Amino acid sequence: MTSSTVSSPLPSARAQRRRMLRSADRSRNPFRIGGAILLALVFAFPIVWTTIGAFKPSSEANASPPVWWPSQFSLQSFAKLDSSGTSLLSYVLNSSAVTLMTVAITTVVAVLAGYAFARFRFPGKRVLFGISIGMLLVPYPALLVSLFTVMVWFHLTNSLFGLALIYSTFQLPFAIYMMRNSFESLPAELTEAAELDGCTKVTALPRVLLRLVAPGVVTVALFAFLAAWNEFMAALVLLNDNSSFTLPIALMNAQNGPLNTIDWGGLQAGITVTMLPCIVVFILLQRYYVSGLVAGTGK
Amino acid sequence: MSVVQHATDAVTREHSIDTTRAREDAAAVTRPSRPRRPAAPSTHRARARRAEARSGWLLAAPSAVLILLFFVVPFCLTLVMSAFDWPTFGTPKPVGAANFAHVLSDPKFGQALLFTVGYTVVTSVLGVAASLGMALLVRPRFGGRTAVRALLFAPVTIGFAPAGLLWLSMSNVRTGVLPAMAVALGIVPPGTDWFANTGTTLALVVVMTVWKTAGLAMLVLLIGMDSIPQEVYEAAKLDGARSWATLTRITLPLIAKPLSLVILLTVTTTFLAFDQFFAMTKGGPDNSTVTVVYYLYNAAFVNLDRGYAAAVAVVVVVIMAVISVAQVRLQRGKDRA
């Protein structure tokens, strides 16, 4: 405020006008606000209902008609997801392993490739970039048939590492594109200055540039996390041993219980464990999600 | 997956960058060589260029290897497999175009295709309408707007498989809260199993899909709307434009690009639907909710008919390519107008 009174009247008038426009953009319509809040509650209801359901004692989680509020909060449902006796924790660990590997591989590979595409000239560059973008036009469920055969060749079926390699590969189009844009938005003088300080073009990456593209790296990691944690179809096809199942597969199996009996409490506990990390991570990193979306939609 | 929307944009952007670069190259060639370094630099520069190419390749190599092994090889293998009878054990036999003839003549594939198209049209229309409505509703500032937006978006972060199971657990006839509410409100008689009837089963999957995907489309549209300068709305207000006119004459035309991206994104992801049907319907009742990808899955991993499944996969790839190209054409036409 004080600085605007000191400086010339023009910017202050402009600031005032901007404030005016901003307040014109503010809605005080109670129907709009009420409607928006109501809609948000409707959207949140399934999430809240399931989370509460996960903490109901087993008898109340499976009660018909459903019990709205548990008489006491219990962790009973988290103990057993299915009749196989494998605990929910082991599936959480499997999913975490696949997700961590995917995030690590995707970010490292995409940072290197993004830097190469943004700052280096090399033969085949346009072909490689073209293929990585062209991948977006080929839906990956269509490739699962042959991907399964390829994984048999590489002895990577039933392997969480093999799954992570596939997830990383199919994250690359977005990740490389995102990282290339991040590197291109840095001024070229920066690399030149680093080279004068004794870096090579390659060592300038970890020493100088990496910190500056960190927001892009977070975005790439976030998208890789959500994709790997939630992926279902490839895991369904490639994993065939209960001990290596990821959460989505384990949940699906819990739903196909023996003799069609489903422990709804256990299922809700499993769903809660699967969905809450995504929601929490998204809320913490919203900003990066939006910037990824902005990059993706070409604004 | 938020994938396809990047494709068209990236391709066009890449194109424009390449043309500017080509122009720079041309300028560099016609520019007279600098006087200060007369003879030596040509070899020096060539060496520097080779070093740059080597570093560039080293940096890009990991991505090239992954893409080669897990995309190019399977992609080519799919094409090869589609021309073979490919048993799980034993040697494959070439069968020419027989697999494709079989795909196109199988009434079950036709049924799956028809069902998928119907599901895609219904879900896309409802989903795009819902997300547009949501975006318009939460665009202006108000107290709690951030929290409202976050709640509307939260389902997007949940995977289709857990989201499908979540809705299954909410709507099953025994313990589901939704049937209990419907019974309490007198909408349905007690004991109605929504999953026993194709219509209600499909309705539940559509509602689940819209719930899970509308937030993403809303966010893309909001990003588009935020780039419209507020002054435009001020001017319209001064001209006496009503809110309907503002919507149809200003907002919609100015978000045409994000809107068409949203449509492409919604159409392609719904067309490839699998997880939610696997979770909620298992293709039933009576195989009435088998989507194209579900059909592909059954062919490859239930009937173990890999060659045939590869042919189905090729057909799916072609359909997706047609949808994407049509969308890009449509967009180009709009841009020129």
Q: What is the pLDDT of residues B183-228, one digit of tens each?
A: 888 888 887 888 888 889 999 999 999 999 999 999 999 999 988 8
Question: Angle at CA A98, nearest 5°, toward A246 and B279?
Answer: 30
Give me the interface pTM, i.e. the ipTM. Answer: 0.87
> With contacts defined as CB-CB under 8 Å, which chain A residues touch B58?
202
Q: What is the pLDDT of residues A138-161, one digit of tens each?
A: 988 999 999 999 999 999 989 999
Query: B70 vs A135: CB contact, 8 Å cut-off?
Result: no
Across chain A, mean pLDDT equals 86
- All domains in chain B, ordered by first residue: 38-81 (no CATH), 100-336 (1.10.3720.10)
| A38 touches B at CB < 8 Å | no
Question: Which of A4-18, A95-109, A253-267, B313-327 shows the lowest per-residue confidence on average (mean pLDDT)?
Answer: A4-18
> With contacts defined as CB-CB under 8 Å, which chain A residues touch B52?
120-122, 201
What average pLDDT does range A6-16 have in this prediction? Answer: 60
Q: Tell me how close the Cα of A197 comes to any Cα of chain B, in angstroms.
A: 18
pLDDT given at position A299: 44
Of A115, A177, A282, the CB nearest to B157: A282
In a 3-state reduction of DSSP, which class is residue B86?
Answer: coil
pLDDT given at position A102: 98
> What percent of chain A clears pLDDT 70, i.e. is strictly above it?
88
pLDDT given at position B15: 42
pLDDT beyond 80 at A28: no
In a 3-state reduction of DSSP, which class is residue B198?
Answer: helix
Place of tokens 């409505």: B133
Give the mutation candidate from A140, A275, A297 for the B interface (greatest B CB count, under 10 A): A297
pLDDT given at position B257: 86
Query: B296 vs A142: CB contact, 8 Å cut-off?
Result: yes
| A34 touches B at CB < 8 Å | no
Tell me the one-letter amino acid at B29: V
DSSP summary character for residue B85: E
Rg for chain A, CA atoms, rounded: 25
- All domains in chain A, ordered by first residue: 1-48 (no CATH), 88-296 (1.10.3720.10)
Q: Tell me how close the Cα of B16 comes to any Cα of chain A, in angstroms.
A: 13
Question: Which of B89-103, B196-210, B266-280 shows the lowest per-residue confidence on average (mean pLDDT)?
Answer: B89-103
Q: Are A118 and A233 in contact (CB under 8 A)?
A: no
Rg for chain B, CA atoms, rounded: 26
Query: A149 vs B306: CB contact, 8 Å cut-off?
Result: yes
Query: B56 vs A133: CB contact, 8 Å cut-off?
Result: no
| A199 touches B at CB < 8 Å | no
More confidently predicted of A65 and B65: B65
| A20 touches B at CB < 8 Å | no
Q: Which two tokens stand for residue B268?
A: 């392609």
> With contacts defined as CB-CB under 8 Å, which chain B residues touch A138?
71, 75, 317, 320
Across chain B, mean pLDDT equals 84
Tell me the one-letter amino acid at B241: A
